[in-house]
Amino acid sequence: MLRSLTAPFVLLYALFPLLLQAAPPRPIPAPPELPVESYILIDYDSGKVLAEKNADKRVEPASITKLMTAYLVDKALAEGDIRMDDEVTISEKAWKMKGSKMFVEVGDRVSVENLIKGMIIQSGNDATVALAEHVAGSEDAFVGYMNHQAKLLGMNATQFRNSTGWPDKQHYSTARDIATLSQAVIRDYPMNYKYYKVKEFTWNNIRQFNRNRLLWKDPSVDGLKTGHTDAAGYCLAASAQRDGMRLISVVLGAKSDKARTIHSQALLNYGFKFFEAPRLYDAGEVLKTVRIWYGDRDRLALGLEQPLSLLIPKGRYKDLKASIEVNAEITAPVREGQEMGRLTVRLDDEVLATRPLVALQSVADGGLVKKATDSIRKLFE
Would you call 249 a catalytic residue per the annotation? no
- pLDDT more than 70, % of the chain: 93
Contact 293, 330 (CB under 8 A): yes
Contact 199, 96 (CB under 8 A): no
SS3 12: helix
Active-site residue, from 63, 100, 182, 264: 63
Would you call 370 a catalytic residue per the annotation? no
Contact 65, 80 (CB under 8 A): no
- pLDDT more than 90, % of the chain: 81
Residue 298, phi then psi, degrees to nearest 5: -100, -20
Q: How far is CA 125 from the centre of its chain?
A: 26
Which of these, 174, 201, 159, lies nearest to 54 by C-alpha position? 174
* Alpha helix stretches (DSSP H) within 36-91: 66-78
> Is CATH 3.40.710.10 the classification given to domain 38-276?
yes
Q: What pTM value is reported for the model?
A: 0.85
Dist CA 282 CA 243 (whole Å): 16
Q: How many residues does the chain have?
A: 381
pLDDT score for 13: 30
pLDDT score for 12: 35
How does pLDDT run across 14-57, given as a tens digit for each residue?
333 334 444 566 678 999 999 999 999 999 998 999 999 999 99
Active-site residue, from 66, 101, 117, 225: 66
Contact 132, 113 (CB under 8 A): no
Instruction: List CB contacts of 176: < 8 A, sequence separation 6 or more.
Output: 40, 52, 55, 56, 157
Q: Where are the domains of the chain?
A: 2-20+279-380, 38-276
SS3 155: coil
Query: 132-136, 256-260, 261-265, 374-378: lowest mean pLDDT where?
Result: 374-378
- Please state which architecture CATH assigns to domain 2-20+279-380: Sandwich (2.60)
Give the pLDDT mean for 192-197. Answer: 97
Contact 359, 341 (CB under 8 A): no
Would you call 93 a catalytic residue per the annotation? no
Active-site residue, from 91, 100, 123, 309: 123
